[in-house]
Amino acid sequence: MKQLALVIDLNVCVGCHACVTSCKEWNTSGTAGYMADMNPYAKDPTGTFFNRVQTFEVGQFPATETVHFPKSCLHCEDPPCVPVCPTGASYKRESDGIVLVDSEKCIGCNYCSWACPYGARELDEHQKIMKKCTLCVDRIYDESLPENERKPACVMACPAEARIFGDISDPDSEVSSAIRESGGYQLMPEWGTKPANHYLPRRKASITIHEDELVRSDNPLKKEHQLPMPDDDDPTFDEITSW
Amino acid sequence: MSKPKHDPLSKQFDENSQIEVKNTTCYMCACRCGIRVTLRDGEVRYIQGNPDHPLNKGVICAKGSSGIMKQYSPARLTRPLLRKPGSDRGANDFEEISWDKAFEIMTDRMSHLRGTDPKKLALFTGRDQMQALTGLFAKQYGTPNYAAHGGFCSVNMAAGMIYTIGGSFWEFGGPDLERAKLFVMIGTAEDHHSNPLKMEISKFKRQGGKFISINPVRTGYSAIADEWIPIKPGTDGALFLALTNEIIRQGLFDREFLRQYSNAPELVNMDESSSEHGMFVRFEIPHDEGCFDPQNKLWWDREQNKAVPNYTKGADPYFLGEYQLEDGTPVKPSFQLLVDRVKKYTAEWASGITGIPAETIVRLAHEMGITARDEKIELPIPWTDCWGVEHEVVTGNPVAFHAMRGLAAHSNGFHAIRAMSILMSLLGTIDRPGGFRHKAPFPRPIPPCAKPPNDSRAVQPNTPLDGMPLGWPADPDDLFVNDDGSPVRIDKAFSWEFPLSVHGMMQNAVTNAWRGDPYKIDTLMLFMANVAWNSSMNTSGVREMLNDRDENGEYKIPFIIVADAFQSETVAFADLVLPDTTYLERHDAMSLLDRPISEYSGPADSVRIPVVPPTGDCRPFQDVIVELGSRLNLPAFTNADGSAKFQNYKDFVVKYETSPGSGIGFLAGWRGPDGDEYIKGEPNPNQWQMYEKNNCVFHYELPKSYQYMRNWNQGYLEWAKRHALLRYTDPINIHIYSEVLQQFRLAAQGKTDGRQPPDHLRKRVEKHFDPLPFYEKPLEALQSDLEKYPLNAITQRPMAMYHSWDSQNAWLRQIHTYNFLNVNTKTAKEAGIEDGAWMWVESMHGKVRCLCRHSEAVEPGTVWTWNAIGKASGAWALDGDANEAKQGFLLNHLISEELPPSADGDHLSNSDPVTGQAGWFDVQVRIYPVAEGEEQVSSPQFDTIGPVPGQMIERKPSRWLTYFAGRRGAS
């Protein structure tokens, strides 16, 4: 069964937040909008976002890793937010696995956000309804858009191409092959939610230098008569033994 | 079940909407990505990256996506304003006036100044990217007192690299990550070309390249580096010199590259008694001296064991050794001088300075050298060099570097960057695949031909300036000084204090004008330059200077004009405020005459075309300049009969030619009557339409054979000459050894007949105009009590706000609402400061109270924060108690624009003695906890300012913003 998802490559994400605001920009004036901002020009501004980047440090100086971690609804295959919804507003589409909220049914009770182990759902404090990532469902099937633009806004925006979008149930898709080949993993699989979104871990490149690669026969110092050569009166075997 | 809202078919609210889609160019930062703007009922609904644009190929960043919130910001100015009589500067007390009145005020004042003493007008602009126009205006007006923000930003990068390899990072060149195998990024460099760099680093990593970040802080791009090497700020030069030492010691330099393409083997006169000491020996004096390096130097040939003209066929020069010419002159190849220089700069020595283990430095040198040597790239691209030799392939040594402000913003940055450029050259990576690549109009001769005037008589009433306001001195005769050697410019650029200050020294404009040193000015005109806040060092002091009066009660800077789109901190200090448009409301040209968006593959320029009408009475600053130019009867803007030559900037861009019939104008694309010429060609009245049809961008892709080795590529150089990019086709050889610097040194030593520095600057010039890079601590560190102030304090821009012009934005401020001082956990604990606690950070110039964040991603001797998050209370239409003002802070209060005065009271800018680059990453600090019971608010604080008349304050919702395009105020 088709399951659309994002695969997020932490190996190349530089935490630039392009996905965060491009998401807000598309969705605030779209079918899922608006996304209200409280105190937009005052003390303690907050607002609704479908996607946020958390940055944290791992390890101790100097062996420190700085991790930029974008997080949005993971569109679980077994989403705990759906069965807890008293009105049926929270639902998972059979056709493509996207988890959505029907804003006309939502009563803002917050059960779904309490059930979500990932903290991916945010109550729009102004409308008092639950809002969340829709995988830009109003873009991805829109036939008035050129085919290569039928992608979530965050995927279109990401300068590092750290966000790959596709069907994880299709083994030949780009997302499936990325998960397979780059060690894609799910968040907290022990919860049994089977999140559709996956993350690709950091991968480190290194250069191995063998000592004997340092000097080659065409070393330019040779032309300057500068390759290390002992002085004529330095000790050699000749002074030490006669065999 | 009711129809779910997210059903893509339920688009009822769109049915009656008027949707328009327009292309233009982003201006949320300096990248200049192509954007596609969708409007719903005339309101901006969606800004996306333009997929057909060569720069960003469809991507966009956090700022670009938040452009809507900038367009509809309550901080927008909409009316020209005049400070109310009797009110103080800084009090923000204005009355609305008409544009006619504003022009009348400016014209009266400025025409009087022009007719008496044009240098009394000073025009300084921020990060505007329209220097082609503002520079033209200043020149036409006749004032030498003009510059953009380069003195603050990265002039060390521009000068250090351009005086060495004829090109520099960012607009004029960059790392070729498509082909590189090893990428080394040093210091904070994320801001510059941020989207393209993100795209390239990602691809580079996916191709398996190794990315090394050398930075005191691990954030931004450094986060995804394969290896992070923490370094102490301001010590980069020591690292490069030690790497150079090891690379030479192991013979890992590209000898063939240096032999053919640099002055490394050329013989230097070692006779200390000679006026030619330290200069290359020449076998003939060229008939026609121009702005190029004649090939009249000598090599010491290995075969014949004697001096021969350089590039003698069949000759192969020694790089090392000491020789004697027939006339007895002792000489050495300049490479030998480099070897002599770096001998003492061992890895062990550098380790003690940089904090990087010696074995890491040695390994780094080996990784660079061996990758460059053993991973060679050969592209099957035939090309011909300047000497007529045909090559079947283009060769590349795939080690790429990138650096910007992290290296530049130190008073020892020029030599650090020279050292980096030399290292890049030793590895044979200049304009080659996988290394550094130029972007048109670079490479240029070393130094480029444009010169500032060299005589105070270049400034005359009612006369354009005789020379360019900014340029590239090649020797002391190019300095812009009075007959007594004193500075002509208010910022003292191109004087003996800062001879190669090629971007001017905006950081000193206010202080010098206030002090009247070297003289008093009348009018200070500022565009997009927040000098009363984050575009100044010593912010508190500068705010006082802007408001300071003389003994007669007159302002020491008599008149201040501020052009800005937003209610910045500086607006409050203006006498006259000119409301600028946003980038979505105007025509703009990102010209090859300024800082274009060229690609490695060839020149590119781009435009902005308005997607929405101007708000209120806003006028594009360019239109204001064009109109002011004609009102002041400046020749370039006025017909013979005194009428205006151009209706507005849009008209100017199409019609203007740099001289009558030159065929060179602001835009390179679709020139000529039929639009089929490029770079050079008659004006084309349909040029704007052509840009509009072509995604607002013109990109000429050079033939492959012209895309590499451009310093020495005969085909490219001839093409560039034919298209007016260059005057000469002579090779642009790398200056491993800088004779330009040596000429200034000889003057300082009194060995030359020409101009010499005033006595009190002789030692300074002699020391810093060293033809080879050297390492010394930054000036501030030399003058600080390092026991008392042991830590370095630096800033970076947050990832969501790289290189943004301003940061008040309803969406972005939710990501970064206030800033912490990030302190290594161990350092903070030793100082007794808890994570999240209030603390003091203090330099010898001042102190700031701020919040502490413990971090493991910063080396223990450095503290750092996000720059320009902190705001003055009430500025930018934020509430007086907004977090930016009460918890956020500005480090600039701790940084001085000047060094402590000398014993005889002389003031010297806290800037690189070669280039005048502001040393704002040099500040030395100490940290300590707040006392018990202290106020929990950042310090210093300033009186809250309110909105100004006409400000878009009705856009400021009290509690909720529910932006929904086409349905203003959905709630």
Name chain B contacts of A163, Cβ cutoff 8 Å. Answer: none
Q: What is the pTM of this model?
A: 0.97
B413 and B482 assigned to the same domain: no
Confidence (pLDDT) at A242? 79
CA distance B352 to B342: 16
B205 and B131 assigned to the same domain: no
Name chain B contacts of A41, Cβ cutoff 8 Å. Answer: 74, 808, 810, 877-879, 882, 956-957
Chain A residue closest in CA terms to B426: A220
* Nearest of A28, A35, A186, A37 to residue A118 by alpha carbon: A186
**Cα of A237 to nearest chain B Cα, Å:** 27
* Nearest of B466, B464, B457, B458 to residue B634 by alpha carbon: B464
Q: Which positions ≥6 away from B175 have C-beta within 8 Å?
A: B183, B200, B400, B401, B402, B435, B436, B437
Residue B103 maps to a domain: yes
CA distance B423 to B403: 13
Domain count across chain B: 4
B184 and B306 assigned to the same domain: yes
* Residue ranges per structural domain of chain A: 4-200
Please name the member of B6, B371, B960 whose beta carbon is closest to the beta carbon of A138: B6
The average pLDDT across B819-825 equals 98
B290 and B267 assigned to the same domain: yes
Chain A residue closest in CA terms to B209: A205
DSSP B388: S
Token pair in block for residue B484:
């007594």
Name chain A contacts of B228, Cβ cutoff 8 Å. Answer: 62, 64
Write the DSSP string, B696-711. TEEEPPPPGGGSS-TT
Token pair in block for residue A90:
């929270």
Span B233-263, pLDDT tens digits = 999 999 999 999 999 999 999 999 999 999 9
Span B400-444, pLDDT tens digits = 999 999 999 999 999 999 999 999 999 999 999 999 999 999 999
Cβ-contact B713, B383 below 8 angstroms: yes
Angle at B163 between CA B157 and CA B168, to 5 degrees: 40
For testing the chain A interface, which of B856, B878, B944, B951 should be mutated: the one with the most A CBs within 10 Å? Answer: B856
Token pair in block for residue A180:
């397979």
Token pair in block for residue B933:
């019971």
Whether B2 shows a pLDDT value over 50: the answer reads: no
For testing the chain A interface, which of B41, B951, B960, B968 should be mutated: the one with the most A CBs within 10 Å? Answer: B960
The average pLDDT across A88-93 equals 96
Span B321-370, pLDDT tens digits = 999 999 999 999 999 999 999 999 999 999 999 999 999 999 999 999 99
Contact B824 A103 (CB under 8 A): no
Confidence (pLDDT) at B14? 61
Lowest average pLDDT, out of B119-123, B369-373, B865-869, goes to B865-869
B437 and B475 assigned to the same domain: no
Cβ-contact A105, A87 below 8 angstroms: yes
For residue B159, the surrounding DSSP H or E stretch is helix B155-165
Cβ-contact A4, A98 below 8 angstroms: yes
* Nearest of B401, B371, B364 to residue B243 by alpha carbon: B364
The average pLDDT across B810-836 equals 97
Q: How far apart are the first and last CA of chain B?
A: 27
Q: Which domain, by its residues, includes B816?
A: 779-955
Strand ranges inside B604-752, DSSP E: 604-608, 697-699
Residue B69 maps to a domain: no
Beta-ladder partners of B35: B24, B49
Residue B714 maps to a domain: no
* Nearest of B220, B942, B651, B95 to residue A14 by alpha carbon: B220
Chain A residue closest in CA terms to B182: A207
* Nearest of B670, B672, B673 to residue B689 by alpha carbon: B670
CA distance B933 to B936: 9
Chain A residue closest in CA terms to B40: A29
B260 and B360 assigned to the same domain: yes
Please name the member of B202, B367, B960 whose beta carbon is closest to the beta carbon of A209: B367
Q: Which positions ≥6 away from A179 have C-beta within 8 Å?
A: A7, A168, A198, A200
Contact B370 A44 (CB under 8 A): no
CATH number for the domain including B319? 3.40.228.10
Span B295-310, pLDDT tens digits = 999 999 999 999 999 9
Contact B961 A37 (CB under 8 A): yes
B503 and B395 assigned to the same domain: no
Name chain A contacts of B4, Cβ cutoff 8 Å. Answer: 91, 100, 102
3-state secondary structure of B899: coil
Please name the member of A41, A148, A157 whose beta carbon is closest to the beta carbon of B74: A41
Please name the member of B2, B46, B255 whose beta carbon is closest to the beta carbon of A104: B2
* Nearest of B240, B259, B222, B258 to residue B365 by alpha carbon: B240
Confidence (pLDDT) at B9? 52
The Cβ-side half-sphere exposure at B838, using a 13 Å CA radius, reads: 16
Instruction: For residue B6, name the pLDDT band (cuts at 50, 70, 90).
Output: low
Residue B743 maps to a domain: no
Fold of A4-200: Alpha-Beta Plaits (3.30.70)
| Phi, psi (rounded to 5 degrees) for B687 | -60, -45
B455 and B361 assigned to the same domain: no
Chain A residue closest in CA terms to B248: A221
Instruction: For residue A68, name the pLDDT band (cuts at 50, 70, 90).
Output: very high
Name chain A contacts of B826, Cβ cutoff 8 Å. Answer: 61
- Sign of torsion over alpha carbons B437, B443, B445, B447: negative
Contact A226 B320 (CB under 8 A): yes
B548 and B575 assigned to the same domain: yes
CA distance A35 to A49: 7
CA distance B439 to B118: 36
Confidence (pLDDT) at B4? 56
Cβ-contact B217, B822 below 8 angstroms: yes
3-state secondary structure of B911: strand
For testing the chain B interface, which of A22, A69, A106, A209 should be mutated: the one with the most B CBs within 10 Å? Answer: A22
B34 and B91 assigned to the same domain: no
Name chain B contacts of A160, Cβ cutoff 8 Å. Answer: 198-199, 201-202
**Cα of A11 to nearest chain B Cα, Å:** 6
Span A224-237, pLDDT tens digits = 987 766 777 788 88
Chain A residue closest in CA terms to B216: A62
Span B163-222, pLDDT tens digits = 999 999 988 999 999 999 999 999 999 888 899 999 999 999 999 999 999 999 999 999
Token pair in block for residue B113:
């100044």
Residue B751 maps to a domain: no
Token pair in block for residue B774:
């050297």
Instruction: For residue B840, name the pLDDT band (cuts at 50, 70, 90).
Output: very high
Chain B residue closest in CA terms to A11: B224
Please name the member of B226, B799, B963 whose beta carbon is closest to the beta carbon of A14: B799
| Phi, psi (rounded to 5 degrees) for B611 | -105, -20
Q: Looking at B705, B737, B769, which one is the last position of a domain? A: B737
Q: Looking at B708, B737, B766, which one is the last position of a domain? A: B737
Residue B622 maps to a domain: no
B186 and B116 assigned to the same domain: no
Q: Looking at B720, B737, B754, which one is the last position of a domain? A: B737
B316 and B428 assigned to the same domain: yes
**Cα of B735 to nearest chain A Cα, Å:** 20
Whether B10 shows a pLDDT value over 80: the answer reads: no
Span B737-758, pLDDT tens digits = 999 999 999 999 999 999 999 9
